[in-house]
Amino acid sequence: MKIVIGSDHAGFQLKQEIIGKIKSAEFIDVGTNSEESCDYPDYISRVAETVQQGKADAGIAICGTGIGASLVANKFHSIRAALCFNEFMAEMSKRHNNANVLALGARVIGVDLALRIVERWLETPFEGGRHQRRLDKLASYER
């Protein structure tokens, strides 16, 4: 599975941890590349665009709280970004909402929890069925 991952300065260390420890995915790192202050929209938009263009199967977007990351990613057509703070949210975001971008808040969850969230999100399939009907309704709002 090919995953695009990006962060601002607040999420840089967590991004590096995820890339280094999650072996079930191939990562495309779109930056940032340091803890020097930067603007999260510059990097999260790269995550969303990469998923939108089909160059990655899914994306992970990280900022301090995850709020800005989810706001930016969800501005892009066909992106369903889910801000998750625990494993259950990660599982349900895929199982019921088929989220294609996972947003994380580096300043509100620890590394160990973040790694468990990412693993759960990556391993969970979309259920389809009645949930697809709901996603079709959601997609109709984009038109």
Q: What is the pLDDT of residues 84-117, one digit of tens each?
A: 999 999 999 999 999 999 999 999 999 999 999 9
User: What tokens appear for 15 in the block?
Assistant: 């991004």
Domain interval for residue 104: 2-140
Q: Domain count of the chain?
A: 1
The CATH number assigned to the domain holding 64 equals: 3.40.1400.10
Residue of 9, 38, 63, 77 marked catalytic: 63
Residue of 38, 77, 84, 96 marked catalytic: 96
Cβ atoms of 57 and 50 within 8 Å: the answer is no
Q: Is 89 exposed, middle or buried (0-12, 13-18, 19+ CB in 10 A)?
A: middle
Q: What is the pLDDT of residues 30-88, one digit of tens each?
A: 999 999 999 999 999 999 999 999 999 999 999 999 999 999 999 999 999 999 999 99
For the chain, what is the mean pLDDT?
97
- Nearest CA to 45 out of 68, 25, 22 is that of 68
- Nearest CA to 73 out of 91, 51, 98 is that of 51
pLDDT at residue 34, as a whole number:
98
Q: What is the pLDDT of residues 117-132, one digit of tens each?
A: 999 999 999 999 999 9
User: Does the annotation mark 63 as catalytic?
Assistant: yes
Cβ atoms of 90 and 102 within 8 Å: the answer is yes
